[in-house]
Chains A and B, each alone.
Chain A
Amino acid sequence: MTTAERTGTPSSAVEAPVLEVRDLSVAFRTEGGTVSAVDRVSLDLAPGEIVGMVGESGCGKSVTAMSIAGLLPGSARVTGSVRLQGTELVGTRESVLRRVRGKEIAYIFQEPMTSLNPVLTVGRQIGEVLQVHERMSGRAARARAVELLSLVGIPSAATRVDNYPHQLSGGMRQRVMIAMAVACGPKVLVADEPTTALDVTVQAGILQVLRDLRDRLGTSILIITHDLGVIADVADRVVVMYAGRVVERAPVTDLFAFPYHQYTAGLLSASPTPGVHAGTQRLQEIPGLVPVLSTQPDACTFADRCPAADARCREAAPPLEAVRPAINDHVAACWHPCPAPRTHVEEATA
């Protein structure tokens, strides 16, 4: 990367990012007209970095993720830039994309049950990926499938390789999906709500697998979730989306300790904290509904629900920029950011 992004580059990205997304916008043609789903989203993934993406239902997380992996339907109009190790993916020919997809960028869906083929053993399904992308022989692919299954923590992998999906629990199926996704050693793994359908004891195991992949193979991971606990657990950096836009981006500890955007602050105080809300304190609510994105090009999309909004917020969209010059990897798009606590200012200048 030659020119630094105006909004600042993450300090952790000392090496060139594996994935660079710039001003990505996605609109869908529907019968009722054009629906804008993603509006000028930018983000980076450094090698071996785990970036978490949070935001309200319908704010464009999955559409962003799918456009990175090139999985959107034909009705989607994608503009902007997605570069994988310098190679532009937006507007690239399908034949080139097909090679990238599955090999360089892998995608894990929320629903492991519906995305596995019920009539093939898991070994066959993983094997097929390897035979297509790596030109492996059937024997070699099967042996590699067993290795991959143990890599994702499936016990007795040599037996499990011959199981059909319905013979596995939800957690094990999600592990199989991950094994399939990482079969070709992708540079980037996009995990869209990989644990939402699972209970916490199984979720903890899956998150451990993702961390292991990063540590052992250096895979960069974009993980999408509703659950701030999951973000707190695995993410290095966090991207907060609201109504199609990135509204805040920060290293994980900064984001939780010093949220700048009023929406982020609302989100953080809305989730119950064990030990704090024990039958006494009320949970914080964010009043109002998420707006339709395309109606507010020249305003802060959060203004209608924001406690700090004034006339300016309804007249101009705030740019995404470093809230304090000293902390350039923490950016927010807010005219009236939450005041930073004293300690933060001291830490930043120390």
Chain B
Amino acid sequence: MTPQENALELEDLVMHFGPVRAVDGVSLTIPRGRVTALVGESGSGKSTVGRCVVRLVEPTSGVVRIAGADVTHLSRRQLRRHRSDVSIVFQDPAGSLNPRMLVGDIVAEPLRLSRRRLSRRDREARVAAELGRVGLRAEVARRYPHELSGGQRQRVSIARALISEPMLLIADEPTSALDVSVQASVLNLLADLQRDIGFACLFITHDLSAVEYLADDIAVMYLGQLVEKGSREQIFARPAHPYTQALLSAAPVADPERQRQRQQVLLGDDLPSALDPPSGCRFRTRCPLAFDRCATEVPAQIEFGDGVAACHLVQPDGTRPDVRAAETNEVLS
């Protein structure tokens, strides 16, 4: 596949904040029009990856390519050319919308910043159309953010992100702050818009059910690194890394009978710190299957099926133990 067919390419991305190794060597490709979910524990570096992509921060090392163009170290001015290629929706709709601006101006802002000049009437028409697309009435343009509900505010930030028709959308936990019923409407909206417009999307979340609904591919992050990548089908049906397996078994299902029959893997919650990550495999301090080699040797990325996993116990033919099985030394294939 040629680079231009990829909306996003990350090569060995590293982002350190002083001693904090927030992102430590992440490689990831998102083809145009596809949705990749980035899941993982709180503090594992997911948002930092997103902030590197939209260049809110400058990566320590590695490469960020958007539609084939290297944007890793571009200056603010140079970035302007790429601004309409990528947009971001933040977790907290209240905090990311300027409270003193009218909704209409908030949504129109990316248009003002882009080089194309539009007349005021054209701009208002675009804003009204965009608000309509996210299910809001055009009158909402004349309101302030605090006059809207949480779900409506999140729709406004989606409208702002999509008005420049980006090729790539970074959605950083767009539904975590919302109620279940409001969550559903935002997820439906994202799915519909993605199908209609065809943008690529990096969907950052810790909600695995939302991932299953929206994502084509899944990347699992642990303490600054990717431990597993693969198609949605493969990750859900045959997760290879013990952390992915634990994540899947820990997410409760809303069905008491099924939930109570499930085997849960209880990991210790002595989470290691990004200041001083464990030697070898970073997951080993919580992994029920860890053995000597995990402390001394960093596991290689093993390719199998349509994915990769970084674990000493995963074989190139995809054979691996499953921490969810009662007999932990039983090997599944």
Contacts and interface: CB of A to CB of B under 8 A. Distances in A.
Interface size, B (range): 35 or more
Contact of A285 (B149, B184, B209, B270): B184
A266 B253 CA distance: 17
Q: Which of B188, B252, B266 has the most CB of A within 10 A?
A: B252
B254 A229 contact: yes
B184 A283 contact: yes
Interface stretch (B13-21, B57-65, B75-83, B210-218): B210-218
A90 interface: no
B193 interface: no
A33 B127 CA distance: 37
Given A56-B179, A279-B214, A286-B181, A172 B270 contact: yes
Interface string A217-241: 0000000001111111101000000
Contact of B213 (A175, A204, A283, A289): A283
A228 B188 contact: no
Nearest to B187: A283
Given A199-B41, A233-B260, A253-B257, A267 B180 contact: yes
B277 to A, nearest CB: 14
Contact of A205 (B188, B212, B266): B266
Contacts of B216: 279
A272 B269 contact: no
B271 A285 contact: no
Interface stretch (B115-123, B163-171, B243-251, B312-320): B243-251
B255 A226 contact: no
A285 B42 contact: no
Nearest to A254: B256
B213 A272 contact: yes
A234 to B, nearest CB: 9
Nearest to A208: B266
Contact of A274 (B180, B188, B251): B251
B135 to A, nearest CB: 10
B110 interface: no
Contacts, number: 141
Given A229-B259, A256-B254, A273-B254, A199 B206 contact: yes
A235 B255 CA distance: 11
Contact of A252 (B42, B250, B256): B256
Interface residues of A, number: 49
Interface in B211-255: 212-216, 232-233, 236, 246-247, 250-255
Contact of B252 (A57, A232, A268, A286): A232
A268 B232 CA distance: 24
B250 A277 contact: no
A231 B271 CA distance: 25
A282 B188 contact: yes
Interface in B258-286: 258-260, 264, 266-271, 286
Contacts of B33: none
B270 A155 contact: yes
A202 interface: yes
B181 A266 contact: yes
Contacts of B301: none
Nearest to A266: B181
B203 to A, nearest CB: 13
For B183, B233, B269, the residue with the greatest tally of chain A CB atoms inside 10 Å of its CB is: B269
B182 to A, nearest CB: 8
A292 interface: no
Given A170-B42, A208-B266, A272 B181 contact: no
B250 A285 contact: no
Q: Give the residue among A203, A235, A285 with the most B Cβ atoms within 10 A.
A: A285
B232 A278 contact: yes
B208 interface: yes
Interface string B69-104: 000000000000000000000000000000000000
Contacts of A200: 206, 208, 247, 250-252
Interface in A152-211: 155, 169-172, 175, 197-205, 207-208
Most buried by B among A202, A268, A283, A284: A283
Given A199-B41, A232-B252, A232-B253, A284 B213 contact: no
B206 to A, nearest CB: 5
B252 A233 contact: yes
Nearest to A230: B252
A270 interface: yes
Contact of A198 (B42, B150, B257): B42
A169 B209 contact: no
Contacts of A197: 42
Nearest to A160: B270
A203 B236 CA distance: 20
B179 A271 contact: no
B251 A202 contact: no
Contact of B209 (A205, A273, A279): A273
Nearest to A227: B252
Interface in B186-217: 187-188, 191, 206, 208-210, 212-216
Interface of B: 41-42, 149-150, 179-181, 183-185, 187-188, 191, 206, 208-210, 212-216, 232-233, 236, 246-247, 250-260, 264, 266-271, 286
22 contacts: A155-B268, A199-B41, A201-B286, A203-B252, A204-B266, A208-B266, A227-B180, A229-B253, A229-B259, A233-B259, A252-B256, A256-B255, A256-B256, A270-B181, A270-B184, A271-B180, A272-B187, A272-B212, A274-B212, A279-B232, A283-B188, A285-B185
Closest 9 CB pairs of A and B: A229-B252, A171-B269, A228-B254, A272-B209, A283-B184, A286-B181, A200-B250, A169-B271, A270-B184
